[in-house]
Amino acid sequence: MDLTGKHIAILGVGRSGRAAALLALREGARVSIWDLAGARAFAEMPAGVEIHPEATAGQGRDVVSDLLVISPGIDTCGSYVAAFSAHAGEVIGEVEFAARFYQGGIVGITGTNGKTTTTELVARILAHAGLGGTPCGNYGTPFAEVVLQASPPATVSLELSSFQLETIRTLRPVVAVWLNFAPDHMDRYPTVDAYRAAKLRIFENQTPQDTAVIRSGEVLPSLVAGTVTISTTDPGADWFSDGHVILHAGETWLDMAHDTALRGLHNAENAMAAMAACQALGIPASTMREALHGYAPPPHRCELIRTLDGVEYLNDSKATNLHALESALRSQTRPVVLIAGGKDKGLDYEPVVPLLREKALATVTFGQIARPLAALFGEAVPSEPVATLADAVAAARILSPHGSTVLLSPGTSSFDQFSGYEQRGNAFRDLVHQLR
């Protein structure tokens, strides 16, 4: 793709947008970057980039570009993008832009839940095999930053959100991993089918020589790539786990308790998906076991904060949708006091009620959806609505007997009270450590 002398307009001044700007400059383009943010957000922008702070849709309608590159956090269906698209030769996202200048192989990973852990596991195995090692895309480093490295890795572990998949055109994973699907982001997508269609684009450019790793039982359209199945319920799948060991072709490939710090069926699925993807690249089992030895999941994913008076406190702030909340609940072996709540994303929480009857002693709800969530969860167990996360931790401590677990698994995003799930999880960690 020759960008010499062409005008590349970039929407979004965050890390992805800056990386795209540097890549466009390297390829000889004239680069402009636009954002609603003020001038301070554009500090230390690379020399040669035209900056446009406080950019409006009205300005966007007058922008003529050969290529418009959209950062992943910007709604591609909104009026802002529509304005800048009016006179753009082509509209793509940052990951698609980076892919056009990357010569290696892509392991693409999507799913409603488990993407980040799986992306880390794949990256760890790739690094141990000498093929790469930088998790990128929706998690870790922007893909364009990886492409800008002096010696880009031979293979990347690329987490792909639905937002990023909306704007691909040619991006082709040699291995595409589909972990699961459940309704999410209903504040962005008009229907569940629209959200699903965006995620399914991960398979769009694959060939018969490529591999699709999918969870057994997922209903997917006919795929061109060869399929490999994983399961924690179907022993007939290509890869199977009971949550303790991972089996492939009747042989044990990984003992989770002995080889890793991963626990639970949801993490077994993540590990299987990573191993299946890497086997498709020809990496042997012994290399994978060495790579995963001692691996612990990232923070905010059923992270044990402390045990106080016989009560475990788990931080699962990464659970920003119903499916993640259900997975966290199912994986618990002790009675649970659930802390849930946050922003109203228009999700239907009715399916979690039967699981609460099975797993929970009580729930404490907080944030924007505290009261309606408490009313619904109250059909199953005692439920108390409170205003803040601090109030929720205090209430949960009173409700949790010796031998139980206080589980922060919000089931929705944090943007009513926090900047993201990380800040929410860090706040929970601090609050728990303050308990006496």
DSSP 41: G
Strands 405-408, 383-385: pairing kind: unpaired
To the query of whether residue 426 is one of the catalytic residues in this protein, the response is: no
CB 279 within 8 A of CB 253: no
How far apart, in Å, do the first and last CA atoms of the chain sit? 61
Residue 149, C-beta contacts closer than 8 angstroms, at least 6 positions apart: none
Give phi and psi for 82, each to the nearest 5.
-60, -40
Q: Name the catalytic one among 7, 113, 128, 138.
A: 138
Residue whose pair of structure tokens reads 């505290």 in the numeric block: 370
Residue 351, Cβ density class (10 Å: 0-12 exposed, 13-18 middle, ≥19 buried): middle
Q: Which of these, 13, 147, 143, 11, lies nearest to 69 by C-alpha position? A: 11
Residue 167, C-beta contacts closer than 8 angstroms, at least 6 positions apart: 70, 76, 91, 92, 93, 95, 96
To the query of whether residue 185 is one of the catalytic residues in this protein, the response is: yes
How far apart are the C-alpha atoms of 53 and 33, rounded to whole Å?
A: 8
Number of other CB atoms surrounding residue 79 within 10 Å:
9
Token digits for 257?
């308790």
Token digits for 102?
């990357």
Q: Which of these, 193, 190, 213, 192, lies nearest to 202 by C-alpha position? A: 213
How far apart are the C-alpha atoms of 424 and 429, rounded to whole Å?
A: 9
Token digits for 315?
């931080």
To the query of whether residue 138 is one of the catalytic residues in this protein, the response is: yes
Q: Name the catalytic one among 185, 300, 343, 359.
A: 185
How far apart are the C-alpha atoms of 356 and 301, rounded to whole Å?
A: 19
Q: Name the catalytic one among 7, 52, 115, 248.
A: 115
How far apart are the C-alpha atoms of 431 and 37, rounded to whole Å?
A: 32
For 231-240, which contacts have Cβ atoms below 8 Å and span 24 or more sequence positions?
232/265, 232/268, 232/269, 238/276, 239/272, 239/275, 239/276, 240/272
CB 106 within 8 A of CB 172: yes
The catalytic residues are: 115, 138, 185
